Amino acid sequence: MKKIFSILAFILSACSFVVGQNSSLIKIQTDETMMVLSGATNQKLEFYYWGDKISGKLNFTERKQKNQPDTNDEMFPQAYPSYGERFYLTPALKLTHVDGVLTTDLIYDKHSMRNIDSNIVETTVSLKDKIYPVYVDLIFKAYQKENIISQSVKIRHEEKGILNVENIASSYLPLHAKSYYLTHFSGTWAHEMQATEEKLNRGIKVIESKKGVRATQAENPSFILSLDTPMQEDAGEIYAGSLAWSGNYKLSFEVDETGRLGITSGINPFASNFKLNAKEVLDMPEMLLTYSSNGVGKVSRNFHDWARKYGMQHGDKEHPIILNSWEGAYFDFNEATITEMIDNAAKFGVEMFVLDDGWFGNKFPRNGDNAGLGDWQVNNTKLPNGIDYLAKHTVSKGMQFGIWIEPEMVNPDSELAHKHPEWIVQSGKRDILPMRNQWLLDLTNPKVQDFVFDTFDEVVSQSPHISYIKWDANRHIDNVGSAYLPKDKQSHFWYEYVQGLYKVYERIRQKYPDIQIQLCSSGGGRVEYGALKYHDEFWASDNTNALDRIFIQYGTNLFFPSIATGSHVSTSPNHQTGMMIPLKFRFDVAMSGRLGMELQPKDLIGDEYEFAAKAVATYKAIRPTIQFGDLYRMVSPYSGNGWASHMYVAKDKKEAVFFAYSIENHGRTEYFETKLKGLDPNKNYKVTEINIQDYPKFTENGNVFSGDYLMKAGVILPIGNPFDSVVLQITEQ
Query: Which residues are marked as active site?
Result: 472, 542
Stretch that binds ligand GLA, among 34-42, 102-110, 518-526, 696-704 (CB under 6 A): 518-526
Stretch that binds ligand GLA, among 55-63, 174-182, 395-403, 517-525 (CB under 6 A): 517-525
Nearer to ligand GLA, 34 or 342 (CB): 342
Instruction: Say whether residue 493 binds ligand GLA (CB under 6 A).
Output: no
Strands annotated E in 33-133: 33-40, 46-52, 93-96, 106-115, 120-129
Q: Are 549 and 577 in contact (CB under 8 A)?
A: no
Nearer to ligand GLA, 261 or 532 (CB): 532
Task: Indicate the residue whose CB is closest to ligand GLA.
Answer: 357
Q: How many CB atoms lie within 10 A of CB 365?
A: 18
Shortest spacing between CB 472 and ligand GLA, in angstroms: 5
Contacting residues for 522 by C-beta, under 8 A, at least 6 apart: 189, 214, 217, 436, 472, 473, 474, 542
- As a whole number of angstroms, the distance between CA 390 and CA 462 comes to 11
Q: Is the dihedral of CA 315, 539, 372, 246 positive or negative?
A: positive
Instruction: Please select the residue that binds ligand GLA; options are 292, 339, 379, 474, rule is CB under 6 A.
Output: 474
Instruction: Say whether residue 379 binds ligand GLA (CB under 6 A).
Output: no
Nearer to ligand GLA, 367 or 693 (CB): 367
**∠ Cα 226 270 420 (to 5°):** 125
Nearer to ligand GLA, 189 or 709 (CB): 189
Count the residues of the shown chain that bind ligand GLA, applying the rule CB under 6 A: 12
Phi and psi torsions of 527, nearest 5°: -90, 90
Instruction: Please select the residue that binds ligand GLA; options are 542, 548, 655, 689, rule is CB under 6 A.
Output: 542
Q: Are 255 and 180 in contact (CB under 8 A)?
A: yes
Beta bridge pairs of residue 283: 154
Q: Is the dihedral of CA 246, 90, 205, 227 positive or negative?
A: negative
Instruction: Please select the residue that binds ligand GLA; options are 50, 253, 404, 453, rule is CB under 6 A.
Output: 404
Beta bridge pairs of residue 184: 196
Q: Are 192 and 552 in contact (CB under 8 A)?
A: yes
Per-position DSSP letters for 182-249, written without gaps between them: EEEEE--TT---EEEEEE--SEEEEEEE--SSSTTSSB-SEEEEEESSS--SSSB-EEEEEE--SS-E
DSSP-based three-state secondary structure for 648: strand
Instruction: Say whether residue 523 binds ligand GLA (CB under 6 A).
Output: yes
Instruction: Say whether residue 360 binds ligand GLA (CB under 6 A).
Output: no
**∠ Cα 267 273 279 (to 5°):** 95
Write out the H or E segment, with its range, that includes residue 450.
helix 446-461
Q: Are 676 and 729 in contact (CB under 8 A)?
A: no
Stretch that binds ligand GLA, among 121-129, 520-528, 613-621, 665-673 (CB under 6 A): 520-528
Binding to ligand GLA in span 677-716, by CB under 6 A: none
Nearer to ligand GLA, 153 or 520 (CB): 520
Instruction: Say whether residue 453 binds ligand GLA (CB under 6 A).
Output: no
Shortest spacing between CB 348 and ligand GLA, in angstroms: 20
Instruction: Say whether residue 326 binds ligand GLA (CB under 6 A).
Output: yes
Q: Are 570 and 544 in contact (CB under 8 A)?
A: yes
Shortest spacing between CB 468 and ligand GLA, in angstroms: 13
Nearer to ligand GLA, 359 or 551 (CB): 359
Instruction: Say whether residue 472 binds ligand GLA (CB under 6 A).
Output: yes
Instruction: Please select the residue that binds ligand GLA; options are 245, 353, 539, 551, rule is CB under 6 A.
Output: 539
Nearer to ligand GLA, 268 or 518 (CB): 518
Write out the H or E segment, with its range, that includes residue 590.
helix 583-590
Shortest spacing between CB 346 and ligand GLA, in angstroms: 22
**∠ Cα 217 223 227 (to 5°):** 155
Nearer to ligand GLA, 518 or 662 (CB): 518
Nearer to ligand GLA, 168 or 540 (CB): 540
Instruction: Please select the residue that binds ligand GLA; options are 356, 496, 537, 655, rule is CB under 6 A.
Output: 356
Q: How many CB atoms lie within 10 A of CB 14?
A: 11
From residue 94 to residue 113, the character string flagging contacts with ligand GLA as x (rule: CB under 6 A) and all else as - is --------------------
Residues in the chain, overall count? 733
Instruction: Please select the residue that binds ligand GLA; options are 104, 222, 226, 522, rule is CB under 6 A.
Output: 522
Shortest spacing between CB 352 and ligand GLA, in angstroms: 15
Shortest spacing between CB 187 and ligand GLA, in angstroms: 14
Q: Are 719 and 726 in contact (CB under 8 A)?
A: yes
Stretch that binds ligand GLA, among 164-172, 201-209, 496-504, 515-523 (CB under 6 A): 515-523
Instruction: Please select the residue that binds ligand GLA; options are 342, 520, 616, 647, rule is CB under 6 A.
Output: 520
- As a whole number of angstroms, the distance between CA 221 and CA 186 comes to 10
Q: Which positions lie near ligand GLA, rule CB under 6 A?
A: 326, 356-357, 369, 404, 472, 474, 520, 522-523, 539, 542
